Amino acid sequence: MAYSIEQWRKAITKLLELTSEDKLIWQSSDDYEPEASEAIDGSFSAKLKDKMYVVSKVRRRHYLDENDFVWVYRFNLAIFERNLFSGFEAIANSPDISSIAALYEAAESNFAYNKNALGDLLD
């Protein structure tokens, strides 16, 4: 059995809600492992209970023919669970849902705010 798109949307909405309430603190992350044809343009992680959520902006090569390709962007949400032996292990990757882009933007903003990115400029 697999989670439905509606269940994924509900979970993403909950992560957005927790982020907006500052109950999730996002950190810059390198926990998402790209495939050979991918590049990561940014990645943020947040921990909640025994799980870690990693939202990433991913560039993937889309080949037009044998030699030529263009980069196609997508956003990914990966979920990891604490493992007693190896730290965290991946347990789920989201389907391609447009609301993950909003979660990525919220995580990026949360990270910048918690790092006081504008602090020296607003004094």
pLDDT per position as a tens digit, 27-42: 999 876 777 778 889 9
**Which residues span the domain enclosing 77?**
5-113
SS (H, E, C) the chain: CCCCHHHHHHHHHHHHHHHHCCCCCCEECCCCCCCCCEEEEEEEEEEECCEEEEEEEEEEEEECCCCCEEEEEEEEEEEEEEECCCEEEEEEECCCCCHHHHHHHHHHHHHHHHCCCCHHHCC
pLDDT tens digits along 52-73: 999 999 999 888 998 898 999 9
Residue 80 placed within a domain = yes
Residue 122 lies in a domain: no
Total domains in the chain come to 1
pTM across the whole model: 0.87
